Each structure stands twice: as structure tokens, then as C-alpha cells.
Amino acid sequence: MPVRPRIARFEEIAAALSGLDLVPAMEAAFARYSTGKAIVPPVGELLLQDPPGEVHIKYGYVRGDDYYVVKIASSFPMNTALGFATGNGMMLLFNRHTGEPAAILLDRGWFTDVRTAAAGAVAAKHLAPSTVGRIGIVGTGVQARLQLRHLAGVVACRNVLVWGRGEESRRRYRDEMESEGFAVSITADAREVAGSCSLIVTATPSTEPIIHGSDVLPGTHITAIGSDTPDKRELDGPLLAKADVVVADSRAQCAYRGEIAHAVADGVLALDDVVELGDVITGTCAGRQGDEQITIADLTGVAVQDAAIAIAVCERINAGAKII
């Protein structure tokens, strides 16, 4: 008899995610990927115009797991004017042994947001300097908020400087994050972020560099997460050339999207000089070796992260029991 898939709606998913520490799950996912235990095909992508929109399809599994995962996540920036959320999507779990659908997770793209923020915390945990005097956030959207919240679990610093394109969005960000215990200053000059923060997270859809190598101080760590399509870019080439350590979530994926792809195309970085985050986590490759080094993590999002969070939430929804 075919098995009817479990359908989980957003409210149930959000409740299951509450209190779940995703940092260890993301660390394990990256480690499995870099040790060859994960099967992750190239990203499927649909770029739309009039109105602009992006649809990303990521899929994969970890050897030995009982499920494979297909994730569909979209972003339609003009939705704000319509009163709709800009992000949406779902995840589908299938029995790896039979191909039968096991679960349909109507997460509205929340899985992608949360697992990306947890990955940022992982990067900071392994690459940030031992003492962070100020955190710089480039961007004022959902991901900029989530990144700061997740950093609180791995970095003691609560002093924050945020850059955004609009004065009102900067103020809203400051007011919201200050209500959560952060001391937030705002700026209209991204150079101020680059020149005064030792831990910087870039979380924008920019197609032109915002942070430049000439402005970044020794000892800075930067986690770049906005450049998830081939045309997006937040860091300039000289910054990646200047960095002592450049880390990819996936070297194969960063060869054609993200900050690393642009730097390689510019001829200022060799892909062979890039290490993977999973290898830094396991100690196979060196990460930061001193507080004066500049380190960069280019996070383009890997399907193994989606598999890890989807399975963890499904097992929690089912009180630790197997889905099927």
C-alpha cells in the first residue's frame, strides 16, 4: 500500500523549530558534504522578470540517510508593495529506498532563512577573531535580522553597526534589534562598517560590490551570504585577493556563483586556494590562524543544509519517531 505523505503547515513547522539548536546540525551537514558523504547535484534556478523573481531548486541526500530532499524556495521583492511576504517555498521529503513521498513541509521559505542564519553562525564560530569588538551587518531585511540573532549564540559581542540603503529601514532594524538586547548604531556609509567592525555579515541582493578591500582592517572576518545567483555580488575582487583565508560552503558551487566565482573570473583568486567550510570544521584544512588574518566565508547555500533541517524538524514533529 502506498504511504500517504505527512503534510506539515507553517505553524507546526515554526513550533518544531523553536528551541532547536541548528548550529550542530549545520556543522555536521557541512562536514558530511566536504567528506564526500552527501550527494548534491547543481542548483536549479529560474530567474523571472516583470515582476522580478527568483526560484531556487536544491536537492540531495546524505549517504546512509533514509530520505532525500527537494527544496523549492522563491523570492519576489515586489511583493512588499502588495502586502505579501517576499519569500516562499516548501520542502519535500522522499523515502530514499522506494521514492515514495514521506513529507510535504509548507514552510513558506522559512527553512531556507533559518538554515542560512545558522550557517552564518557556524562560519563565525570557526573563523571569527577571538575577540569581536563590533559586529557589522550589511542589509536590513529578514536575513540581516536572523544572522544577528544566531550570532548571539556563538559571539559574545552585542555592539552592532548596520548599513542599509534606506534611512527608514535602518531605523526599523535598529529599533527591533535593540529591543532584543543589542546596542545598534546605523550608518549610510558602508565604508564605516568595513573600517570599524571585526565581524561583518553581508545580507543583500546587491549586484555591485558594497564592501571593498581597501576599507577592511586586518583581523576582520566577513561572512557573505547575499550572492546566491551568478549575477549578485557584495565584495570586490581586491578584498578576496587580500584575504588570508577564503572559505566556500561548496567549492563546486562557488565556482559558478557567489563572491568566489566573481573573484576567480577577475583573475585575483584561484579556486585551488579556496577551502571548504566542512574541512575547516573537521580540521582537515586550516581556518583562521591568528587574530590579524582576514577571513572570508562565501555561503551560497547547499542542499545538504536543507536535508539536515528538514529531517530534524520532521523527526521533532513526530516526537523522534521515523516519518515512515
DSSP state of 41: P
213 DSSP assignment: G
- Measured CA to CA, the distance from residue 37 to residue 213 in angstroms comes to 35
Residue 321 banded pLDDT, cuts 50, 70, 90:
very low
Output the pLDDT for position 4: 83
CA distance 243 to 237: 10
Look at strands 44-48 and 53-62 and give their pairing: antiparallel
User: pLDDT tens digits for 93-142?
Assistant: 999 999 999 999 999 999 999 999 999 999 999 999 999 999 999 999 99
List pLDDT tens digits, range 242-287. Answer: 999 999 999 999 999 999 999 999 999 999 999 999 999 999 999 9
With 70 as the cut, is the pLDDT of residue 92 above it? yes
Active-site positions read 71
Q: What letter represents residue 55's amino acid?
A: V
Q: How far are the Cα atoms of 175, 184, 186, 264, 311 from residue 160, in angstroms, in the given order?
A: 12, 5, 8, 31, 34
The pTM assigned to this predicted structure is: 0.93
Higher pLDDT residue, 321 or 241?
A: 241
Nearest CA among 239, 223, 251, 25 for reference residue 126: 223
Confidence of residue 323 (pLDDT cuts 50, 70, 90): very low
Distances from the Cα of 293 to the Cαs of 210, 283, 290, 317, in angstroms? Answer: 21, 18, 6, 43
- DSSP secondary structure of 122-166: HHHHHHS-SS-S-EEEE--SHHHHHHHHHHTTT----EEEEE-SS
Torsion over CA: 115, 118, 122, 128 (sign) = positive
pLDDT of 160-218, one tens digit each?
999 999 999 999 999 999 999 999 999 999 999 999 999 999 999 999 999 999 999 99
Averaged confidence pLDDT in the chain: 94
What domains lie within the chain, and their CATH numbers? 6-111+304-317 (3.30.1780.10), 116-302 (3.40.50.720)
Residue 141 identity: G
Cis peptide before 101 (omega within 30 of 0): no
Instruction: Report the SS3 class of residue 4.
Output: coil
Report pLDDT for 324. Answer: 37
With beta carbons less than 8 A apart as the criterion, state whether 232 and 206 touch: yes
Q: Is 226 helix (H, G, I), strand (E, B) or coil?
A: coil
For CA atoms 199, 203, 204, 206, the dihedral sign is positive
Q: What is the dihedral of CA 116, 122, 124, 129, to 10 degrees?
A: -170
